[in-house]
Amino acid sequence: MSETPRQITLDEWDRAYERLQAAGVPQPVYGGPLGRHVADGDTRLLKLRFDSSLAALQLWNFLLTEEDRLRAARDAGKKLVGTMKDLGTVPVMAYSLDNLVAFYPDGAWWIPCVMEVNSGLLQIADSLGIDESFCPVRAMLGAFVTEAHFPIPDLLTCSVGATCDDFSAIAQRLNGLGHPILWWEIPHRRPPESDEDGVHLPGGFSAPRSQIQFVKAELERVAIALQDLAGRALDDEALARGIAQANHVRRLLAKLRDAAFTATPCPMPALEMLIAEMLAIHFCSDREETVVVLQELLDEVNRRVLAGVGYLPDQAARVFWVNPVADLQVLNLLEDCGGRICGTEYLFAHALDPIPLDVPPMEALARMALADPMAGSAVDRAARIVADIRRLGAEAVIVSRIPGASHCALEGEIIGEIVREECGIPVLEIEVPPLTDAVYPSLRTRLEALVETVVNRRSR
């Protein structure tokens, strides 16, 4: 491929793929032209622009073949665990047993975007009383009904307690539809009182030791269910091995984020970086291959940094992005408007932090689960965002609201106020529905205005 990175269309990628094949460039078993995924209904791909590297091709193909991998795992006799809501904890436990494969049914969140609302999943959710007043994760209900997107798991787990109202209601509806769920609780995280023993958590928060003990006991219940399903022991040794592997993935991702967010010019577009971050949560149903995919991406980024090549002019506005975008196309749009991502908080920052190694494995996982930015207050979440903004030198923040999401009604305002006060940089709040086509021109105007503001502030 070309030394100079480019963002190319799906058609361009498919023509490039033909040239790769003619040249005999080897591809992984899940490789192939990206265009074939459109035939499966992933029509949004036609509107996206993709990084032109082989590493990015591999990343996209890995992401878009997860359903095939899950079915192959089941055919090979493995058991499937649908882990819901905790984002990054139970999968570490499940992958500690080599005959279990964990995935997030919550990933259906993106189906309305990727299939451009043609999957019928939202209509099914509507018919089950879960309408557009809920966040796009309601598509998950439709995916369970149609069984057309992922196999029905052998075990379903779901964290409750400090979780959003949307997910609680939707998971309860799912349970009512005949899909039994093993519920486990994460309490709302609070700082320790002066007379309480406190524990520092990954990511900088703290919590009373009693909360850690509570979550640990909850995870022990989950571990028993996983052991029963696997028919083998999930002891400390197995968990420690699983944590070491998860930390390997997290270390790779940390290097990738560091290089991609800080190098000039920007060595990897925002869209590919979002997908790379998502791999850390549950390894896209193949932990070993996740390592390969991330390593390739990191090698590509390092090559570009060394060669001084990348995207956007050096003076591109440095934007910190809060919350995942329901429409992937909006990350392309930011770059069209002259902005680049220099930091993110996509609701799962805790799943990117290294899991502590200086305490017994189950306690380490409990600490990680409680470090979820969504398990505490919006003020806590803002504090972590502020620390990252300072570290990464962001010049503006975009908080993208998720339509219907219960936590989005107020938290954007709270985060915005704190960021403005602490960092003195502009904050833009936008709403990003699964398909932004109708609001695309106004979104463009708002992003262009933000970039212009950043540039004007520099000359003050």
Sole binder of ligand SF4 in the list 81, 128, 158, 164 (CB under 6 A): 164
3-class DSSP state for residue 96?
coil
Q: Are 171 and 130 in contact (CB under 8 A)?
A: no
Sole binder of ligand SF4 in the list 402, 419, 432, 447 (CB under 6 A): 402
Q: Minimum distance between the CB of residue 349 and ligand SF4, rounded to whole angstroms?
A: 13
The Cα-based distances of 399 to 10, 225, 270 in angstroms read 28, 38, 15
Burial 333-356 (b: 16+ CB within 10 A, else e): bbbebbbbbbbbbbbbbbbbbebb
- Residue 405 as a binder of ligand SF4 (CB under 6 A): the answer is yes
Q: Which residue has the tokens 């984020």?
A: 257
Identify whether 265 is preceded by a cis peptide bond (ω within 30 of 0).
Answer: yes
Considering the complex, state which of residue 128 and residue 374 has its C-beta at the smaller distance from ligand SF4.
374
Binding window for ligand SF4 (CB under 6 A); candidates: 20-28, 276-284, 399-407, 445-453: 399-407
Sheet holding 317-322, edge to edge: 339-345, 317-322, 396-401, 427-431
- Residue 137 as a binder of ligand SF4 (CB under 6 A): the answer is yes
Sole binder of ligand SF4 in the list 17, 60, 110, 167 (CB under 6 A): 167
- Residue 65 as a binder of ligand SF4 (CB under 6 A): the answer is no
Sole binder of ligand SF4 in the list 110, 406, 412, 450 (CB under 6 A): 406
A 10 A CB-CB count for 2 gives 10
Sole binder of ligand SF4 in the list 135, 207, 268, 369 (CB under 6 A): 135
Q: Which of residues 289-348 bind ligand SF4 (CB under 6 A)?
A: 347
How far apart CA 41 and CA 36 sit, in angstroms, is: 9
How far apart CA 346 and CA 169 sit, in angstroms, is: 22
Q: Minimum distance between the CB of residue 165 and ligand SF4, rounded to whole angstroms?
A: 8
Binding window for ligand SF4 (CB under 6 A); candidates: 212-220, 259-267, 352-360, 400-408: 400-408
Q: Which of residues 355-394 bind ligand SF4 (CB under 6 A)?
A: 374
Sole binder of ligand SF4 in the list 166, 353, 372, 395 (CB under 6 A): 166
Of 362, 104, 65, 31, the closest CA to residue 216 belongs to 362
How far apart CA 209 and CA 200 sit, in angstroms, is: 9
Considering the complex, state which of residue 37 and residue 401 has its C-beta at the smaller distance from ligand SF4.
401
Total residues at the site for ligand SF4 (CB under 6 A)?
Answer: 11
Q: Which residues bind ligand SF4 (CB under 6 A)?
A: 135, 137, 164, 166-167, 347, 374, 402, 405-407
